[in-house]
Amino acid sequence: MKIYSRWKDEEVKKLFDFIENGRKNNVPLIKLFSQYAHLTGRKPNSVRNYYYIELEALQEDESRTKKLGIDLSIHKKNDQKEFSDDETRELVMKILQMTSKGISVRKACLTLANGDITQMVRFQNKFRTVVVKQKELFDECLSKLQTKDTKYVSKRPDNVIAFRNNKTSLTDSDINSLFLGLVKLVKKQATEQATKNQEIEITRANNMLRKTLVSLRQKEDEIKSLQKNFKLLSKENEKLSEEIKLLRGKNAELLSSQTKMQGLKKFANRYKAKNISSN
């Protein structure tokens, strides 16, 4: 039995309950390992390896299994048959033939596994093992393939690693691309903001122009009204001037008549006084 760091019983119970619920919903084990790793911050391979090691330990410790309340009938380890030498050669040859046509190792393994993820991982791991640890076997398969198909000139497949490793640092090219992307983003935002500001200023100017035109129209109407009233007043003034002239003429005539009457009265009085004195 392998030596490993033991988990607490509550952690073991949590892991096996998670796997049990997933199996009841027909979720593949490999996906469950990945999901649990994401939840706990562990690596999927570590979760998988621990699960199988702990499963073996529980199968040998019935009392602990009952204590944790784990139903081992749901947790069965799938014992896979080892590849024979002929099966290994055939698998490697098929994968190399597919990768020579531009197909990735992962996709080739998935095709050979008829879409079975578990079997795909098994094929992929076996191929990777041959590439890394069985170079003579790999070169033998490669040589046979080159003999059959002279177009195949690759010395090793381009995609051997199952999953890409996340980059831990940025290259100068990555930094330049990121910088250019940020510059474009800033320019785009600045242009959009300038366009919005311009639209706001245009709207504000249009509103001010509209208000000014309305005000000018009102002033124009007021001026026309004043001009009309001025014409009416001018006519009234002319009429009054004529009436004043007539009144002045009449007053002059009346004054003249009064003057004449006063002269006659004075003459009459003098005449009357003269007659009285004569008598």
Question: How many CA atoms within 13 Å lie on the side-chain side of 98?
Answer: 19
Per-residue pLDDT tens for 127-136? Answer: 998 998 899 9
Q: Which has more confidence, 216 or 78?
A: 216
* Weakest-pLDDT range from 19-28, 63-72, 152-161: 152-161
In a domain, 270, yes or no: no
* Weakest-pLDDT range from 13-17, 62-66, 129-133, 151-155: 151-155
| pLDDT tops 90 at residue 36 | yes
In a domain, 142, yes or no: yes
In a domain, 92, yes or no: yes
pLDDT band at 153; cut points 50, 70, 90: very low
Per-residue pLDDT tens for 109-128? Answer: 989 988 777 788 888 989 99
Can you list the positions of beta strands (E) in the chain? none
In a domain, 64, yes or no: yes
| pLDDT tops 60 at residue 163 | no
The pLDDT of residue 214: 83
Domain extent at residue 19: 9-68
- Nearest residue to 156 via CA among 112, 110, 92, 108: 92
The pLDDT of residue 174: 62
Tokens of 252: 């002059």
Backbone angles phi, psi at 88, to 5 degrees: -65, -45
The pLDDT of residue 108: 92
In a domain, 238, yes or no: no
Name the amino acid, one letter, at 147: T
Q: What is the mean pLDDT of residues 158-185?
A: 56
Residues 6+ apart with CB under 8 A from 87: none
Tell whether 43 and 90 lie within a shared domain.
no
Cβ atoms of 36 and 15 within 8 Å: the answer is yes
Tell whether 95 and 139 lie within a shared domain.
yes
Q: How many domains does the chain have?
A: 2
Q: What is the mean pLDDT of residues 142-162?
A: 57
In a domain, 215, yes or no: no
Name the amino acid, one letter, at 182: L
Residues 6+ apart with CB under 8 A from 67: 9
> SS3 of 1, please?
coil
| pLDDT tops 80 at residue 274 | no
The pLDDT of residue 166: 39
pTM of this structure: 0.34
- Nearest residue to 49 via CA among 15, 14, 83: 15
- Nearest residue to 267 via CA among 61, 152, 259: 259
Which range, 66-80, 130-144, 156-170, 194-208, has the best average confidence (pLDDT)?
Answer: 130-144
In a domain, 97, yes or no: yes
* Weakest-pLDDT range from 103-112, 120-129, 158-167, 229-238: 158-167
Q: What is the mean pLDDT of the chain?
A: 80
| pLDDT tops 80 at residue 77 | no
In a domain, 144, yes or no: yes
Tokens of 107: 């996709």
Tell whether 61 and 94 lie within a shared domain.
no
The pLDDT of residue 262: 82
- Nearest residue to 32 via CA among 41, 20, 19, 45: 19
Tell whether 13 and 59 lie within a shared domain.
yes
The pLDDT of residue 16: 92
- Separation between Cα atoms, residue 143 and residue 135, nearest integer Å: 12
Residues 6+ apart with CB under 8 A from 125: 162
The pLDDT of residue 256: 78
Tell whether 62 and 89 lie within a shared domain.
no
According to DSSP, residue 166 is labeled P
Tell whether 61 and 92 lie within a shared domain.
no
Tell whether 40 and 91 lie within a shared domain.
no
Residue at a domain's end among 107, 124, 148: 148
Residue at a domain's end among 148, 173, 201: 148
